[in-house]
Amino acid sequence: MSLFEHTSLFTTGQPATIHYDLPDAEVTLYKGFFHKEDADRLYTSLLKDTNWKQEDITVYGKTYPTPRLTAWYGDPQTAYTFSGSKWEPYPWNADLLFIKEKVEKAAGATFNSVLLNLYRNGADSVGWHRDNEEELGRNPVIASVSFGETRPFHIRHKFRKELARMEIPLTHGSLLLMAGPMQHYWEHQVPKTAKPISPRINLTFRFVHKTTS
């Protein structure tokens, strides 16, 4: 099966690399980071075999179902607290370890956990936020891998309102590396769309530190 034929980023065998010149951030996009055959296979496998759940999220004291499906995988003792919920990790599987090894080489970093998000259609989204939880430490490196439908990734500076908001299209098989102080200064979101679109799977690899609390 050949998926997402509209993607034309798999012709050279090497990912197209874009470095974004942003203050207070280190951002690099690798288009076509995964060969199309691998990207298609991983999309199908992850869609079928991941332990997807719709968790509750608490924002400003109100709790409601997360507008997407999620799953948390990682090493033992990498529990992660996000928006009032504490997630215990599922153990790694072969596909996730394959992706992790490839991403770690590109990032020059080690990851011990990954958050998977399934955006089932255009109504699924994630609002403006920063990945700046205590467990991630100072200046975390976060590697974002996308399979499936292209969705726009919006970023905006939290404090410098004169800086224009940016949009980065995250295509099938792409890798976005976020490093430096980005998570302290920049917010990001994946907005809703009324367009009829196919599902997208996103994986954000992180290193969770043990906390004293």
pLDDT at position 9 is 43
Kindly state whether residue 207 falls inside one of the protein's structural domains: no
Kindly state whether residue 46 falls inside one of the protein's structural domains: yes
Kindly state whether residue 163 falls inside one of the protein's structural domains: yes
pLDDT at 82 > cutoff 60: yes
DSSP-derived secondary structure letter, 135: G
pLDDT at 49 > cutoff 60: yes
Number of domains in the chain: 1
pLDDT at position 7 is 42
> What is the overall mean pLDDT for the chain?
91
> Vertex 59, ends 58 and 63: CA angle to 5°?
40
Return d(Cα 182, Cα 140) in angstroms, integer: 8
pLDDT at position 81 is 73
pLDDT at position 12 is 46
Kindly state whether residue 169 falls inside one of the protein's structural domains: yes
Kindly state whether residue 2 falls inside one of the protein's structural domains: no
DSSP-derived secondary structure letter, 109: -
Burial class (CB in 10 A: 0-12, 13-18, 19+), 114: buried
What domain range is 144 assigned to?
Answer: 16-52+65-194
Kindly state whether residue 201 falls inside one of the protein's structural domains: no
CATH number for the domain including 98? 2.60.120.590
Across 167-184, b (16+ Cβ under 10 Å) vs e yields ebebbbbbbbbbbbebbb
Q: The tokens 């298609």 sit on which residue?
A: 40
Kindly state whether residue 7 falls inside one of the protein's structural domains: no
Kindly state whether residue 166 falls inside one of the protein's structural domains: yes
Return d(Cα 74, Cα 92) in angstroms, integer: 6
pLDDT at position 1 is 35
For residue range 14-36, what is the model confidence (pLDDT) as tens digits?
Answer: 679 999 999 999 999 999 999 99
